[in-house]
Amino acid sequence: MTMERNHLRTKIFRVLVPLLPLVAVTLVAEIGVRSGLILDYILPAPSQVFRAFVEDYRELSKAFLETAQGALTGLTLSFVVGIVVAFGLSISDILRRAFLPYAVFFQTVPVIAIAPLLVIWFGFGLPTVIASAFVVSVFPIIASTLMGLKSTDPALLDLFRLYSASPWDYLFRLRFPFALPHIFTGLRIASGLAVIGAVVGEFIGGGGLGSVVDVARTQQRVDQVFAAVLMSSLLGLVLVAIVNLCSHLVLKRWHASERS
Residues near other proteins (CB under 8 A) are 153, 155-156, 158-165, 169, 173-174, 177, 180, 253-256, 259
- Report, in Å, the least distance between residue 184 CB and other proteins: 13
**Pick from 256, 239, 259, 247: which is nearest to 197 by CA?**
239
- Report, in Å, the least distance between residue 155 CB and other proteins: 5
C-alpha pair distances (Å), 256 with each of 39, 252, 259:
49, 8, 5
Give whichever of 165 and 234 is closer to other proteins, judged by the CB atom.
165
Which residues, other chains included, contact 234 with Cβ-Cβ below 8 Å and sequence gap of 6+? 64
- Report, in Å, the least distance between residue 163 CB and other proteins: 4
Helical (H) or strand (E) element with 46: helix 46-55
Give whichever of 238 and 250 is closer to other proteins, judged by the CB atom.
250
- Report, in Å, the least distance between residue 160 CB and other proteins: 7
- Report, in Å, the least distance between residue 154 CB and other proteins: 10
Give whichever of 175 and 221 is closer to other proteins, judged by the CB atom.
175
DSSP annotation of 124 reads: S
**Rounded CA gap, 30 and 37, in Å?**
10
What's the sign of the alpha-carbon dihedral 116, 117, 120, 123?
negative
**Pick from 209, 78, 192: which is nearest to 135 by CA?**
78
Give whichever of 151 and 233 is closer to other proteins, judged by the CB atom.
151
Give whichever of 42 and 155 is closer to other proteins, judged by the CB atom.
155
| Cα atoms in the Cβ-side hemisphere of radius 13 Å centred on 7 | 4
